[in-house]
Amino acid sequence: MKIRLPLIALALGLGSPLLAQAQMLQPGLWELTTSNMQVDGKPLPDMAFMLGQLKNLPPEQRAMMEGALAKQGITVGGNGVRSCLTPEQVATNDIPLQDPQSGCTQKITDRQGNVWKFQFSCPKAQGTGQATFLSDREFTTQVSGTFNASGVQQQGSMNTRAVWLGNDCGNVRPRS
């Protein structure tokens, strides 16, 4: 199965807006690993495969893709993508948008203990999801919706696991 760059960017980027789930999380460096990605009921390769595809791009294409992700506060590293959360972001009791210019909106629709449900809408994607907080250093999400990354409307879903790596974000800059 041939993977298109916009689909990789969508897969890497969709998990990141779900990072900052209020005061339930530690500020600092987080790593998100995506699994069980499906498009129109067909499984996509796992995160390790997609990160390998990104690493195999010509240097200028890889730099362009990594630059676009970096503008959203996302860095490729380890087993997934990494994002830095400030104390202010985790204290908002909301989901900060990954990029104010992205055109995306998100709304928490239900909060029941450690499970939060949400809706999201972006220019080329919309849907619903659920975040389950296992601790202040780990959570999982399940997201499903429609997207139009390649000019064709498709149904998609994926799971994400996020783990806190520590207080120091290193060279990963926080989202705006």
pLDDT tens digits along 81-100 = 888 888 888 887 665 545 55
pLDDT digits (tens, 9 = 90+) for 134-149: 999 999 999 999 988 7
Residue numbers of the domain that contains 92: 5-165
Residue 171 is assigned to a structural domain of this protein = no
Residue 120 is assigned to a structural domain of this protein = yes
* β-pairing verdict for 28-39 and 105-112: unpaired
Residue 127 is assigned to a structural domain of this protein = yes
Which tokens in the block code for residue 164? 């806190």
Q: What is the mean pLDDT of residues 155-163?
A: 92
The residues near 152 (Cβ < 8 Å, ≥ 6 apart) are none
The residues near 172 (Cβ < 8 Å, ≥ 6 apart) are 29, 73, 75, 77, 82, 83, 84
When divided into structural domains, the chain yields a total of 1
Which tokens in the block code for residue 94? 């909301």
At 65, the pLDDT band (50, 70, 90 cuts) reads: confident
Percent of the chain with pLDDT over 90: 27
> In terms of pLDDT, which residue wins out, 45 or 40?
40
Residue 41 is assigned to a structural domain of this protein = yes
> In terms of pLDDT, which residue wins out, 124 or 1?
124
Residue 173 is assigned to a structural domain of this protein = no
Tokens 């495969």 locate to 49
